[in-house]
Amino acid sequence: MKLESVKRYAKKELNGWWIISLIGAAVILLPILYVFLEIFQEPNENWYQIREYLLGNYVINTIILVFFTGILTIFLGVTLAWLTSAYDFPFRKFFRWGLILPLAIPPYIAAYTYRTMLSYTGIVQSTLRNQWDVQINPELLSFSSLRGAIFVFTIFLFPYVYIIARAFLESQSSSYIENARLLGRKPTAVFFKIVLPLARPAIIGGAGLVIFEVLSDYGVTSYFGIHTITTAIFQTWFGMYDVDTAMRLAAWLMFIIIGVFILERLLRQRKRYHLSNKSKPLVPIKLKGVPAAAAFMFCTIVLSLGFIIPLFQLIAWAGLTFDKVWDISFFTLLTQTVSIAAISTAIIIIVATIIANVCRSKWAFPYILSKVITSGYSIPGAIIAIGVLAVFIQLDETLAPLYSYMGLGDAPLLLSMSIVMLIVGYVIRFMATGYNAVEVGFEKIGTKYTEASRLLGHGITKTFFRVELPLIKGALFSGFILTFVEICKELPLVLLLRPFNFETLATKTFQYAKDEMIHEAAIPSLMIIAISTMSVVVFHLIDKRVKK
Amino acid sequence: MYITKWFKPVMASAILAVGLAGCGSNQNSSDSDKETTKKTTTKNEVVNVYTARHYEADDEVYKMFTEETGIKVNVVKAEAEELIERLKREGESTQADLFLTVDGGVLANAKKNDILQPVTSEVIDKNVPENLRDKEDFWVGMATRARVIVYAKDRVKPEELSTYENLTDDQWKGKVLARSSTSLYNQSLLASFIELNGEEKAEQWAEGIVKNFARQPDGGDRDQAKAIAAGTGDVAIMNTYYVGLLANSEDPEEVKVAESIGVFYPNQETNGTHVNISGIGLTKHSKNKENAVKLIEYMTDVEAQEYLSANNYEFPVNPKAKQPELLQSWGEFKMQELNFETLGEHNAKAIEIFNKTGWK
């Protein structure tokens, strides 16, 4: 009798987690599916025209951009992670978390800032001209096209790789690295033979986020005039007035990305390293003299380029335009931005945790499911917005009789005119940032604690709350911060899905930047950066307490 | 037991946040219920606007309108094509009353997509000349901007300039600046040439400009002016209102740039300077039609027109409205005579020509 009830209990619990996952996945998938199904529609002549004349060039540009950004972010992220976790040098503790700060600056703001700084009226050229009467060839400083975009993406997105790689190195790799050191391996050999192969899943996870972000970017690429697949999507939509073909392009882009990630997984399958969970934290080696100075300089340069220089420039511009732009309504913008980001992030982390928990098995289905629900990150925000809009309007029209029955008035567009639609949009778009972090957390603890707990009679829920949750809380927290910062910075989605009179700091920034009013855009930009920076600092403080 | 101290509050607040999200959304929907019920009871209180014009001056005009009439203006701002898509999908259920955007081609596209309806109002007819309204009154112009030739005052005499076509002359080899062809402003400019001079001539023109480029297209309109100041090129194709923004910038370096360049209205002896238009359309399924028409009337009235022109450096559509000094200093000019709808009709062709001629 008792055994029976335990069995039934376990079964029920299992189903509960699965049901929640499937419902969550369905809500996320519907709008994505709406875009995806466009592949099966009859293509029109625009499609053929694009395929014939443009696609080749656009695909090549996209590949160049993704390849170089990917390689450079991995190089920068992993090197810095290795440096700050395996060595000790002046200000290492500060750099350990300070190097996350470039993430606080949205790439499109960075692009505007750097470009204007280096332009004819910018600080570099005007100082040279007015102070020393030096005229330099402006083409030398030309900050645009692929070169500029690769720089911006690398410097402002590398922290994705850095955070994940560092967390991994600090907590997981010490026994391997210390053994290698004991056995007399040189630091470079340790790095290439041990660190890189071991950290591969972490690196791929971080680089994946970077690549997603680059692929879906419209702000930076269109500002620099680079033709990528994403700008092609928009040119088809805004230029040829053909939203169906635009969605079709987006669908193919998504399809290819999911394919690449599944391929990566298949290739990796046989090379899984089971890491010891009990490993002690890595003990850094103290650097002295020239190596210490070099390490310090390297970190300082990266941090200056990625945070300090643009920050000071923006502060200077904010000073110029403060009287004109600043008013009390910025506080409303601030609270609106923070509260919508916090709510959306909380939902993302909870849903991601539930789905990641049931997707830990080795079957193909959960794996593909997990890749599909996170694929929203690779689609340009405006295209997701169309999917969300279509689904919500449909839903509203279906529910309209219910609304009027409930006495909610006879305007049928209730949900799609509310903030709910925007929140769902965010959840779909940024599920990847939350999910990847949670997934890394689960991968790190492996399955043996879970198995032990289940064997000892805990149900899946109890196991989760008593065993797994305490083990992955760090991962959840970093996922929360990453996602929160992303949502604060997000633009295209909020433009299209917002209800009446809803402004965030990002829309305010856009309002100025669209008109090339870079100086006026400085104040809202700085506020976005301030929120993001504070999140990073909070992250650091809590991280420190956890470590203790 | 396993849960450490800090985790509980975080989890609790996460749960709370989700709870709040639920409440928040309920609250929000009940807010909008209130609004809708309000609308059904006292109809004349709001007007809902979807706008692709992101200017602060517009917001100010809405405020002035509310003060004067008591009608509240609710706004969603996004890209024009996105708003058209949203309106199409919302169909009959839409709450939007007005659609505002820049560019005649986009306005024509909105009309073609069947999301607008004709507006009839004597006041509007009086405020806005016929050539700045849709032939069938599906939209009403509210401001215009000219795409002109800007030149380096110290290196180019205005007498050397004449037409857009003249810029393809060998005399300007390595001296012409323009932004990327992805800009709608350039697309509409070329579309106007397709309409006025035919496809072949338009293509020759684009080819000639590309041949004379001082550098590959780079940056926005303002960047072209800066490139003139830097000496990269001598002449640039640029919108008038960016010159206004530069001249009134907080950055003294930008003001210097504006001072070093002159504005030239091309094609005065031939078919006129290219002008593009911002317009307002009444949505097909508008629920507050009366208020909406009132807002159009207000925005085309002298007071609002002068405010927009003074703060946004666009040309007013209302002939009675006075222009700010800067615009006046550039003098009167003859504009292209064409139906703005044709800008939309030729847009795809224009993009094709740009791609073919290698105008990046």
Q: How many domains does chain B have?
A: 2
Report pLDDT digits (tens) over B165-223: 999 999 999 999 999 888 889 999 999 999 999 999 999 999 999 999 998 888 888 88
Q: Indicate the DSSP class of residue B314.
A: P
Which chain A residue has the Cα nearest residue B28?
A418
Distance of CA A196 to the CA centre of its chain: 22
Residue A452: both structure tokens together = 């032990």
Q: Taking the alpha carbons of B123, B129, B130, B136 in that order, is the dihedral positive or negative?
A: negative
Q: Which residues of A touch B286 (CB under 8 A)?
A: none
Q: What is the pLDDT of residue B308?
A: 92
For chain A positions 333-362, those within 8 Å of chain B (CB to CB) are 339, 342-344, 346-347, 349-350
- Is residue A253 very low, low, confident or very high in pLDDT (cuts 50, 70, 90)? confident
Q: Which residues of A touch B33 (CB under 8 A)?
A: 408-409, 414
Flag whether B52 is in a domain. Answer: yes
Q: Indicate the DSSP class of residue A225.
A: T
Q: Is the pLDDT of residue A198 over 50?
A: yes
* CA A539-A543-A546 angle, 5° bins: 145
> Which residue did the predictor score with more confidence, B162 or A232?
B162
Q: Say how far apart CA A166 and CA A81 lie, in whole Å.
A: 5
Report pLDDT digits (tens) over A200-225: 877 887 888 888 888 888 888 877 87
pTM summary value:
0.80
Residue B299 and residue B337 share a domain = no
- Asked if residue B111 lies in contact with residue B248, where contact means CB atoms within 8 angstroms, the answer is no
Average pLDDT over residues A455-468: 81
Is the CB of A516 less than 8 angstroms away from the CB of B79?
no
- CB–CB contacts below 8 A, A to B: 209
Closest approach of chain B CAs to the CA of A534, in angstroms? 17
Q: Which run of H or E residues covers position A56?
A: helix A55-86
CATH number of the domain within which B228 lies: 3.40.190.10
Q: Closest Cα to residue B76, out of B97, B106, B104?
A: B97
Q: Closest Cα to residue A515, out of B278, B298, B328, B342?
A: B278
**Radius of gyration (C-alpha) of chain B in whole angstroms:** 24
In degrees rounded to 5, what are phi and psi of residue B316? Answer: -70, 150
Average pLDDT over residues A498-519: 83
* CA A340-A306-A490 angle, 5° bins: 20
Q: Closest Cα to residue B139, out of B124, B157, B126?
A: B124
CB atoms closer than 10 angstroms to residue B118:
13
State the number of CA atoms in the 13 A half-sphere of A194 facing the CB: 23
Closest approach of chain B CAs to the CA of A296, in angstroms? 33
Q: Is the minimum CB–CB distance between B170 and chain A shorter than 8 Å?
A: no
Average pLDDT over residues A379-394: 81
Flag whether B13 is in a domain. Answer: no
Q: Which run of H or E residues covers position B264?
A: strand B261-264
Residue B318 and residue B347 share a domain = no
Q: What rounded mean pLDDT belongs to chain A?
A: 81
CA dihedral angle for residue A131, residue A132, residue A135, residue A139, rounded to 10 degrees: -70
- Is residue A11 very low, low, confident or very high in pLDDT (cuts 50, 70, 90)? low
- Asked if residue A206 lies in contact with residue B49, where contact means CB atoms within 8 angstroms, the answer is no
Which chain A residue has the Cα nearest residue B257?
A121
Q: Say how far apart CA A202 and CA A478 lie, in whole Å.
A: 14
Q: Taking the alpha carbons of B161, B163, B164, B169 in that order, is the dihedral positive or negative?
A: negative
- Is residue B300 very low, low, confident or very high in pLDDT (cuts 50, 70, 90)? very high
> Which residue did the predictor score with more confidence, A459 or B244?
B244
Which chain B residue has the Cα nearest residue A542?
B6
Q: Which residues of A touch B253 (CB under 8 A)?
A: 120-122, 126
Q: Is the minimum CB–CB distance between A423 and chain B shorter than 8 Å?
A: yes
Q: Closest Cα to residue B106, out of B298, B259, B276?
A: B276
Residue A504: both structure tokens together = 């965030």
Supply the range of the domain harboring residue B130. Answer: 43-143+276-322
Average pLDDT over residues A425-451: 83
Q: What is the pLDDT of residue A245?
A: 83
Q: Is the pLDDT of residue B12 over 60?
A: no
Question: Quick one: three-class SS letters along A410-457?
Answer: CCCCCCCCCHHHHHHHHHHHHHHHHHHHHHHHHHHHCCHHHHHHHHCC
Q: Is the minimum CB–CB distance between B74 and chain A shorter than 8 Å?
A: yes
Query: Residue holding tokens 């450096």?
Result: B313
Which chain A residue has the Cα nearest residue B217?
A225
Q: Indicate the DSSP class of residue A237.
A: I
- Is residue B20 very low, low, confident or very high in pLDDT (cuts 50, 70, 90)? very low
- CA distances, B5 to each of A349, A462, A481, A539, B1 (Å): 20, 19, 19, 16, 10
For chain A positions 48-87, those within 8 Å of chain B (CB to CB) are 49, 53-54
Q: Is the pLDDT of residue B21 over 50?
A: no
Residue B171 and residue B62 share a domain = no
Among candidates A225, A515, A519 on the partner chain, residue whose Cβ is nearest the Cβ of B360: A225
Q: Is the pLDDT of residue A311 over 90?
A: yes
Q: What is the pLDDT of residue A361?
A: 64
Strand pairing partners for A484? none
Q: Say how far apart CA A415 and CA A400 lie, in whole Å.
A: 10
- Is residue A9 very low, low, confident or very high in pLDDT (cuts 50, 70, 90)? low
For chain A positions 294-313, those within 8 Å of chain B (CB to CB) are none
Q: Which residues of B touch A452 (CB under 8 A)?
A: none
Residue B353 and residue B219 share a domain = yes
Three-state DSSP at A142 gives coil
Closest approach of chain A CAs to the CA of B278, in angstroms? 15
Q: Is the minimum CB–CB distance between A149 and chain B shorter than 8 Å?
A: no
Closest approach of chain B CAs to the CA of A365, in angstroms? 29
For the domain spanning A1-37+340-494, the CATH number is 1.10.3720.10
Which residue type is seen at A63?
I
Q: Which residues contact A293 (CB under 8 A, 6 or more apart)?
A: none
Q: Say how far apart CA B117 and CA B136 lie, in whole Å.
A: 9
Residue B204 and residue B337 share a domain = yes
Q: What is the pLDDT of residue A364?
A: 67
Q: Say how far apart CA A382 and CA A494 lie, in whole Å.
A: 9
Flag whether B351 is in a domain. Answer: yes
Q: Closest Cα to residue A134, out of A124, A143, A144?
A: A124
Which chain A residue has the Cα nearest residue B41?
A409
Q: Is the minimum CB–CB distance between A508 and chain B shorter than 8 Å?
A: no
Best A46, A241, A348 residue to mutate vs chain B (most B CBs within 10 Å) = A241
Query: Residue holding tokens 């609270």?
Result: A335
Query: Residue holding tokens 């996870």?
Result: A205
> Which residue did the predictor score with more confidence, A359 or B49?
B49
For chain B positions 131-150, those within 8 Å of chain A (CB to CB) are none
Which chain B residue has the Cα nearest residue A227?
B360
Q: Is A461 exposed, middle or buried (0-12, 13-18, 19+ CB in 10 A)?
A: middle
Is the CB of B14 less than 8 angstroms away from the CB of A542?
no
Query: Residue holding tokens 């070093």?
Result: B260
Q: Say how far apart CA B272 and CA A334 lie, in whole Å.
A: 47
For chain A positions 519-548, those within 8 Å of chain B (CB to CB) are 519, 542, 545-546
> Which residue did the predictor score with more confidence, A383 or A157?
A157
Query: Residue holding tokens 């000639």?
Result: B208
Q: Which residues of B touch A120 (CB under 8 A)?
A: 226-227, 229-230, 253, 257
Q: Is the pLDDT of residue B135 over 80?
A: yes
Average pLDDT over residues B5-23: 43
Average pLDDT over residues A290-301: 92
Residue B150 and residue B132 share a domain = no
Q: Is the pLDDT of residue A153 over 80?
A: yes
Q: What is the pLDDT of residue B198?
A: 93
Report pLDDT digits (tens) over A80-136: 998 998 889 989 989 988 998 998 898 988 988 998 888 887 887 878 877 777 777
Q: What is the pLDDT of residue B321?
A: 92
Report pLDDT digits (tens) over B30-44: 444 444 444 444 455
Q: What is the pLDDT of residue A426?
A: 92
Q: Is the minimum CB–CB distance between A222 and chain B shorter than 8 Å?
A: yes
- CA distances, B330 to each of A502, B45, B260, B271 (Å): 39, 42, 14, 19
Which residue type is seen at B33?
D
Question: Quick one: three-class SS letters along A243-257?
Answer: HHHHHHHHHHHHHHH
Q: Is the pLDDT of residue A368 over 70?
A: yes
Residue B126 and residue B51 share a domain = yes
Q: Is the minimum CB–CB distance between A500 and chain B shorter than 8 Å?
A: yes
Flag whether B235 is in a domain. Answer: yes
Residue B229 and residue B154 share a domain = yes
Q: Say how far apart CA A191 and CA A177 lie, in whole Å.
A: 9
Is the CB of B54 less than 8 angstroms away from the CB of A515?
yes
Which chain B residue has the Cα nearest residue A135?
B230
> Which residue did the predictor score with more confidence, B114 or B43?
B114
Of A102-116, A214-228, B15-29, B118-132, where does mean pLDDT reach its minimum?
B15-29
Helix axes B199-212, B347-357, angle to 10 degrees: 40
Q: Is the pLDDT of residue B248 over 90?
A: no
Average pLDDT over residues A183-190: 82
Q: Is A271 exposed, middle or buried (0-12, 13-18, 19+ CB in 10 A)?
A: exposed
Record: fold of A51-316:
MetI-like fold (1.10.3720)
Q: Indicate the DSSP class of residue B98.
A: E
Residue B185 and residue B135 share a domain = no
Q: Which residues contact A363 (CB under 8 A, 6 or more apart)?
A: none
Q: What is the pLDDT of residue A24?
A: 80
**Radius of gyration (C-alpha) of chain A in whole angstroms:** 24
Alpha helices in A119-173 (DSSP H): 123-132, 145-172
In degrees rounded to 5, what are phi and psi of residue B174? Answer: 70, 15
Q: Which run of H or E residues covers position B342?
A: helix B341-345
Q: Closest Cα to residue A487, out of A415, A434, A418?
A: A434
Q: What is the pLDDT of residue A5?
A: 64
Flag whether B55 is in a domain. Answer: yes
Q: Say how far apart CA A220 and CA B319 lie, in whole Å.
A: 40
* CA B171-B174-B176 angle, 5° bins: 85
Q: What is the pLDDT of residue B188?
A: 93
Q: What is the pLDDT of residue A7?
A: 64
Locate CATH 1.10.3720.10 in chain A: 1-37+340-494, 51-316
Q: Say how far apart CA B286 and CA B138 lie, in whole Å.
A: 13
Q: What is the pLDDT of residue B129?
A: 92
Is the CB of A420 less than 8 angstroms away from the CB of B184?
no
Is the CB of A349 less than 8 angstroms away from the CB of B14?
yes
DSSP code string of A163-211: HHHHHHHHHH-HHHHHHHHHTT--HHHIIIIIIHHHTHHHHHHHHHHHH
Q: Closest Cα to residue A199, out of A288, A141, A273?
A: A273
| Interstrand relation of B46-51 and B72-77 (parallel, antiparallel or unpaired) | parallel
- Asked if residue B238 lies in contact with residue B330, where contact means CB atoms within 8 angstroms, the answer is no
Q: Which residues of A touch B29 (CB under 8 A)?
A: 408, 414-415, 418, 420
Alpha helices in B250-288 (DSSP H): 252-260
Residue A340: both structure tokens together = 């919508």
Q: Closest Cα to residue B259, out of B270, B246, B269, B274?
A: B246
Q: Say how far apart CA B344 and CA B108 lie, in whole Å.
A: 6
Residue B78 and residue B101 share a domain = yes
Q: Is the pLDDT of residue A144 over 70?
A: no
Which chain B residue has the Cα nearest residue A349?
B14
Residue B239 and residue B157 share a domain = yes
Residue B230 and residue B113 share a domain = no
Closest approach of chain B CAs to the CA of A268, in angstroms? 33
Q: What is the pLDDT of residue A357?
A: 82
Is the CB of B2 less than 8 angstroms away from the CB of A138?
no
Q: What rounded mean pLDDT belongs to chain B?
A: 85
Residue A79: both structure tokens together = 């090197």
Which chain A residue has the Cα nearest residue B88?
A390
Q: Which residues of A touch B6 (CB under 8 A)?
A: 542, 545-546
Q: What is the pLDDT of residue B262?
A: 92
Q: Is the minimum CB–CB distance between B215 and chain A shorter than 8 Å?
A: yes
For chain A positions 156-215, those within 8 Å of chain B (CB to CB) are none
Q: State percent of chain A over pLDDT 90.
A: 16
